[in-house]
Amino acid sequence: MLRLTGRRLVALTLFASACTHEVAPTAPSTTPGPAPETIPFFVPPVPAPPNASLSIERLSILVGVGAGVPGFWYEPRFELRETGGTSGATLQNIFVRHPDGGGDNTGPGCWRDVIRVPPGGMLDTFLTDEGSAWLGYCAPVSGGSTETPQLAVVVTFTDDAGRSGRVEATARGSR
C-alpha cells in the first residue's frame, strides 16, 4: 500500500487537478491573422511578332503519276511576297500538309543556298520550272492516293532580327 503524506499528497492532488481540469472553449478571433503566403509564378513573355510579313500567292498543286512513287505525287507551286517592307524573311521550312495532318517537310538542310525574300520583294523560286529544277529533290513535294488532293502549304521563316513567323495557304490539286 502506498502512503501519501504532506507534500506528496498536495503535489499529487495538484497534478490530478491539472490533468482533469476542463478548459472552456474560446470564441474565434475576429482579428485577421497573417495573409497566406503567395507563391509567385512565372509567365513567359510573349515573343514579339516578326517584322517580316509573308503571303503565299498564285498557289497551285501539280499532280502527277510515276517517278517511283506509288499513287500520285504532288508539287505545290507558289510565289512568296514580303508585304511589310521593313524586313526580309529567310525561309526555315516548307510543310506540305494533307487533310489528315500528315505531310512532308523540306528546309535549309536540303537547299543549296539560303532562300530569302527581301523586304517588299517577291520570290518565284517555288513557282517556276526553273526554280523546281534548281531545287531538284529538295523542292516541296508530297504524295498520296487521290488525283485531286486538298493540300496546305505552311511556310515558316525568320525575319532579319531572328523572330519567327509562319504563313499558310490551301489549294486543291488537279492533273
- Position with higher pLDDT, 157 vs 1: 157
For the record, the C-alpha cell of 68 comes out as: 517511283
Does residue 151 have a pLDDT over 70?
yes
Is residue 168 classed as helix, strand or coil in its secondary structure? strand
Query: Which residue has cell 500538309?
Result: 97
| Phi/psi of residue 135, nearest 5 degrees | -75, -30
- 8 sits in which H/E element: helix 6-20
Is residue 9 classed as helix, strand or coil in its secondary structure? helix
The listed range with the strongest mean pLDDT (11-25, 67-81, 146-160) is 146-160
**pTM of the predicted structure, to 2 decimals:** 0.71
Return the pLDDT at 19.
47
Q: What is the mean pLDDT of the chain?
A: 83
Mean pLDDT, range 148-173, rounded to an integer: 95
44 pLDDT band (50/70/90 cuts)? confident
Q: Which residues lie closer than 8 Å to 155 by C-beta, 6 or more apart?
A: 54, 56, 80, 91, 93, 94, 166, 167, 168
Does residue 92 have a pLDDT over 60?
yes
Under CATH, to which class is 54-172 assigned?
mainly beta
Rounded CA-CA distance 69/74 in Å is: 10
Q: Which long-range contacts (CB under 8 A, 24 or more apart) does 161-167 make?
A: 161/50, 161/51, 161/87, 163/47, 163/48, 163/49, 163/50, 163/51, 164/47, 164/50, 164/92, 165/49, 165/50, 165/52, 165/53, 165/54, 165/89, 167/54, 167/55, 167/56, 167/80
- 7 sits in which H/E element: helix 6-20
Return the pLDDT at 118.
97
Return the pLDDT at 30.
65
Mean pLDDT, range 77-91, rounded to an integer: 96
Domain boundaries, the chain: 54-172
